[in-house]
Amino acid sequence: MWSDDRVQEFADAVAGEPGCARVTDLLLLREGRVVLARSSTGGAPRDLFSVTKTVLAILAGIAADQGLLDVDQPITEGQTAYHLLSMTRGAEVGGEFDLDNVAVRERNWAAAFARSPQRHPPGTRFIYDNGASQLLSQRLHEAVPRGLPAFADRHLFTPLGIPSPRWDADPSGVPAGPGHLHLTAHHLARVGQLLLDDGVVDGRRLLSSAWVTRMRRRHTKGGPPEGRDYGLGLWLEPNGSFFGAGWAGQLLYCRPSDRVVLVTLSDPGFDYGPPATDQLPPGWVAPLALARQLNLV
């Protein structure tokens, strides 16, 4: 349980860990109330990196609820939106198809990822796949009125009280699906609270209960980098908790049993280059790892 003493223990552990030197924000809500809020930067927005995938999955659900996206319709090479959301596209993800390489070489990232060779039949194997998220982002950007950022503002961010956020795009103008949506810790916590509250905020349904359930249901046994079961845009814990996780310790963690939302953000000083560089300390540590060591999650 996240008692006040345990919350303080966690905050002290992060502050005292040299591997967390680039962590900027810790935020914990219980029953929607702030229990812990620490920021070294005045609550500035941060790049969510792969937590962007969780937000993208929510937007896919909103589009599906509105009849704008058929998750079972092939998008490319027999790969459906479901395959992209569940990381079961089955395509090559390394080498020239690694995101860091695509980002500095290609104008349209999705077009590059669409060329990646098929390694396994779609739907048969989980492989963590940044390309899948970019293909999904492009599909949504084309399918929804006025493009994905405007759709996200109208149907998700504005109802959650989030001013139009920065969402970096590839050179062709398609929002980055694998990462690079920027939110403050408090704004990201509102996204987590939405999932805890079954898609409803202030009595208004933004996302169908069926889609929330689908996101939180096990679709594969998952694998690296988190080593947990995988839903749709979410990693799943055996105790019913679920989370979105990104490089450098970015985290949106939700535990329904005690209605907790935990957000951690960092500023890794990332630059695609080439070559890609960052300012993380050697052997950097994600705050989630410390929470696990303390048996808090």
Query: Which tokens sit at 213?
Result: 């359930």
Query: Which tokens sit at 279?
Result: 């300012």
Domains and CATH numbers, the chain: 4-293 (3.40.710.10)
Q: What is the mean pLDDT of residues 236-243?
A: 97
Whether 237 shows a pLDDT value over 90: the answer reads yes
User: What are the tens digits of pLDDT across the range 162-187?
Assistant: 999 999 999 999 999 999 999 999 99
| Angstrom distance (rounded) from CA 40 to CA 63 | 36
251 band by pLDDT with thresholds 50, 70 and 90: very high
User: What are the tens digits of pLDDT across the range 42-60?
Assistant: 999 999 999 999 999 999 9
Contact 83, 54 (CB under 8 A): no
Residue 211, pLDDT score: 98
Query: Which tokens sit at 254?
Result: 């939700």
Percent of the chain with pLDDT over 70: 100
Residue 56, pLDDT score: 98
1 band by pLDDT with thresholds 50, 70 and 90: confident
Q: What is the mean pLDDT of residues 1-10?
A: 90
Contact 105, 171 (CB under 8 A): no
**pTM, whole model, 2 decimals?**
0.98
The residue assigned the tokens 């996204």 is 191
Residue 76, pLDDT score: 86
Residue 38, pLDDT score: 97
Distances (CA, A) of 45 to 23, 25, 155, 162, 165: 13, 10, 20, 11, 8
User: What are the tens digits of pLDDT across the range 187-224?
Assistant: 999 999 999 999 999 999 999 999 999 999 999 999 99
| Angstrom distance (rounded) from CA 17 to CA 26 | 14
Whether 27 shows a pLDDT value over 90: the answer reads yes
Looking at every residue in the chain, the average pLDDT score rounds to 97
Residue 77, pLDDT score: 81
Residue 68, pLDDT score: 98
Closest CA to 233 of 92, 53, 76: 53
